[in-house]
Amino acid sequence: MNQKGTGFLVKLTIFIALIISSLPGMTYFYMTVDGVEDSVQTQGQMQFLMADCDASGSIDVVFFADLDSNGVADPDDPAVFMMNFADNEAEFPPDMDPDEGTLEILWPLHMPPGHYVIRGSDTSDELEFRYRVLPPDPLTMSISGTLNFEGITPPDPSIANYAFIIGTMDPALLMYAMTDEMGDYYVNWPGTADTVSTIFLMEMPGYDFPGEHHFYVDGHVTDCDIEFTLSSGGGLSDLQMWVEGVESTVQTQGQSYNFEMACEEWGHVNIEFYVDEDGDGFIGAADWNFFDMTWYVEDNNWVDDWYNDGNDTPGDLYISSPFHFPPGSYIFRASDDYSSEQIAFTVLAPEPLTYGVSGRVTLEGITPPDDILSELIFYIAAPDRRITYYSFVDNMGDFSCTWADGEDFVSIGIEEPYPSDDWGFSDATFDFYLDSLVTDLSLFIRYIAYEDSIHVIFEQDSGIWEIGRHEIIAYYIDPTSHALIDMVLFPDSGDIYIPVRPDPCGIVFGGACFEFEDHNFLSPFDTIWIAPDTFPDTIDLYASQTCYHFKLKLNGFDLDSFPEDGIPYDLFGTGPEGHEYYSSVKMFIQMDGDEYIVAGGRELCPGDWRAVLDDTLPGHFIPTVTETTFTIPRVETWPHLTIVIPVYPEKIDETELPDEVDIALYPNPFNSAVTVDFRVETPGETTLEIYNVMGERVMTLAREHLDKGTYRSIWDGYDDRGTEVPSGVYFFRLNTPDETKIIKGMYLK
């Protein structure tokens, strides 16, 4: 060959090399063992996964058990581990090569001895190599034991192939373990004698997560058993009372005191204070709720000025009280949805008593002695109510109240509402400077009387709790301005009568607390217009607790494309009495447990409802339907209603899916959402469905007529009913007019 020809060949070779080097996708994928490229590794040797990747900057790595040792991942070879590696990722295990497009992963996880095939893939290419793991020789240390699941008697296939790791994190040396159907496991330990931990990779639905177990390995450790107990769902325990920082159940007025308890993490607790009339330390028939109410306290949440959780640790409640009860015996009761705890405590008067007030309460129209007077509670408080002292009133109206905080401006009055809103308490409250023992105070409470009244017959369905009648209010509305002019709270017992005001007005019934407004529904719903000369003798009032918690959920959304101001949709309803309702609601990104979902919600009353979705959606998603209808009946439960509106898969460019691949998942494993790319060669009916390992369908991502092309859908780990699925292996089944394809994915929460 002449010199000219040789030069052309050199140029052609360089040109071809440049073309090859610029092609996207993986060009190499292999393992180094103790610094040398090898596919045979003894447990304990240092190993690196070496690869390059395309512009997406990540690869999916899958370990297949090579059952027939042929060096190829056959369809029957199970995937025992999956993970996604990102280029220049600092998370564990990190990419140790700073060059873009080049990955060098220190791989600390050692599979059990055997034959494997490791496959790496990015969005363009897929490579694999055979891999063999040998046990240490000589084997001087090992760990074996049993995972015991409460309520499961082995052998049982449900506890087989339960995956977890045993090892140390610094330095990182992790041994992969799997159970058999007896729950038994065995792990070689190739490191030095050390303290190791068990770290669980999978959840077992219905069982409490056992956490990490630590033990020392200096030989063949046997019988390292771990117990999985059935979830209890919560429950209170360790209720204690502390006075001035010391555990006690005797408190002198003026001392700071608080209650501590353990509860369900991020749960809620209801608290009540009872007067222990007989002093036996238990809540009996004669004992009564001092405030005639129950407070709702949330773990790790500031609820109000005092009944907040003062402990940052999830599952621990610290409740500090700013009020002092009159001297006597009391019971503090705490309860949640699972259990109840109570503690008896005693309140003593300060000694010597240097500050306080005493006097008499006079009720218009009441001649003492009268038991209605003894229903009153007197208080003396700092003007901002940062500290409050209470006192009983006897049937003569006499009271005596202690003040133990020194000279100060104070407010005195009667704690409302006793006995009903027929009494006016505005004249029974005033402020003054307290510097000694003040006697002969007189409080006058006027009685607001109207000539006519309406008898209210109140009924309610049997919901999840009993509605206290004192939680219902009759609101009086001005007929011209519709402004609120007065309100009457229902009595807790006896007949219900609401007064007819001297001028025409409207009456609307509502609730007196947040929980009532959110979870109950009153009928009639409209304003009742009355006048002194024309008014009904009776009003039938019905309360329903069948309001549903409503979520309108869109499948397939990419959260990054979701607008910050939400997506609007409209709710149209027709109530049981024919009344029409309309509400404009928005969907936002919300947290459901540890997961993000797209949802909008509100409480809805019984009736027929229609949700209408705006057909303009972000991310080029097209709704399969723009509205859905549903009925909320009057039932004796309080269910949560999730309405799922699926969306069409998004059509994507052909180049985003390799020619030889019909369906691909990424990332895989995934822990929040997985993207599914698939190809349709022949136009026609296409379905994309997800099944669990039991062969049960959990979600349909697509079921429609699709044109030829490449499509993308996203699954967020929820089933067709809107319930989050557990961690585990799931199968993505694509049916097109030409063929059926199945691909496996791993969901790790």
pLDDT digits (tens, 9 = 90+) for 508-536: 888 766 555 555 567 776 788 898 888 88
Q: How confident is the model at residue 367 (pLDDT cuts 50, 70, 90)?
A: confident
Q: Are 607 and 523 in contact (CB under 8 A)?
A: no
- The CATH code of domain 452-544 reads 2.60.40
Amino acid 299: pLDDT: 85
How far is the C-alpha of 689 from the C-alpha of 713, rounded, in Å? 11
Query: Percent of the chain having pLDDT more than 70?
Result: 80
pLDDT computed for residue 589 by the predictor: 66
Strand pairing partners for 628?
Answer: 611
Q: How far is CA 69 from CA 32, 115, 133, 186, 646, in A?
A: 20, 6, 12, 22, 43
Tell me the per-residue pLDDT of 561-617, one tens digit each, with 9 for 90 and over: 566 777 777 888 776 656 666 777 777 766 655 555 556 655 566 678 888 876 666
Query: How confident is the model at residue 394, as a pLDDT?
Result: 94
Please give the Cα distance from 553 to 531 (Å, whole number): 47
CA atoms within 13 A on the CB side of 122: 23
Q: Residue 471 contacts by C-beta under 8 Å, 6 or more apart in sequence?
A: 490, 511, 512, 513, 516
Burial class (CB in 10 A: 0-12, 13-18, 19+), 594: exposed
Choices 3.40.50, 1.10.1060, 2.60.40, 3.40.720: CATH for 24-134: 2.60.40
pLDDT at 272 exceeding the cut of 90: yes
Q: What angle do CA 261, 262, 263 make, to 5 degrees?
A: 120
The whole-number pLDDT of residue 13 equals 34
pLDDT at 11: 34
How high is the pLDDT of residue 171?
79
Per-residue pLDDT band for 24 (boundaries 50, 70, 90) equals: low
Reported confidence tier of residue 115, pLDDT bands at 50, 70, 90: very high
* Token code pair at residue 278: 């007989």
Write the burial class of residue 121 (CB in 10 Å: 0-12 exposed, 13-18 middle, 19+ buried). buried
Q: Which CATH number fits domain 652-747: 2.60.260.20, 3.40.190.10, 2.30.30.230, 2.60.40.4070?
A: 2.60.40.4070
Q: Name the strand (E) or helix (H) holding 475.
A: strand 472-477
Q: Is the pLDDT of residue 6 over 50?
A: no
Q: What is the pLDDT of residue 141?
A: 92
Q: What is the pLDDT of residues 348-359, one digit of tens each?
A: 999 999 999 999
**Residue type, position 218, single letter:** D
Fold type of domain 237-348: Immunoglobulin-like (2.60.40)
CB count in 10 Å sphere of residue 462: 10
Q: Are strands 213-217 and 194-200 parallel, antiparallel or unpaired?
A: antiparallel
Considering the domain delimited by 142-228, tell me its CATH architecture: Sandwich (2.60)
| 48: amino acid identity, one letter | F
More confident residue, 438 or 375: 438
The domain 548-645 is classified under which CATH number: 3.30.450, 1.10.3470, 2.60.40, 3.80.10?
Answer: 2.60.40
Q: Is 516 helix (H, G, I), strand (E, B) or coil?
A: helix
CA distances from 659 to 19, 54, 522 (A): 19, 16, 62
Q: Where are the domains of the chain?
A: 24-134, 142-228, 237-348, 356-447, 452-544, 548-645, 652-747
Architecture in CATH for domain 356-447: Sandwich (2.60)
Mean pLDDT of 306-335: 89
Residue 145 has pLDDT above 80, yes or no: yes
Distance CA 612, CA 587 (A): 12
Which amino acid appears at position 148 of this protein?
N
Give the span between the Cα atoms of 173 and 175, in whole angstroms: 7
Strand order in the sheet with 528-530: 484-489, 472-477, 505-511, 528-530
Average pLDDT over residues 311-318: 86
pLDDT at 60 over 60: yes
Measured CA to CA, the distance from residue 365 to residue 431 in angstroms comes to 26
Determine if the peptide bond prior to 658 is cis (ω within 30°).
no
Query: Do you find a cis peptide bond into 646, omega within 30 degrees of 0?
Result: no
Identity of residue 113: P
Q: What is the pLDDT of residue 20?
A: 36
- Per DSSP, 517 falls in state H
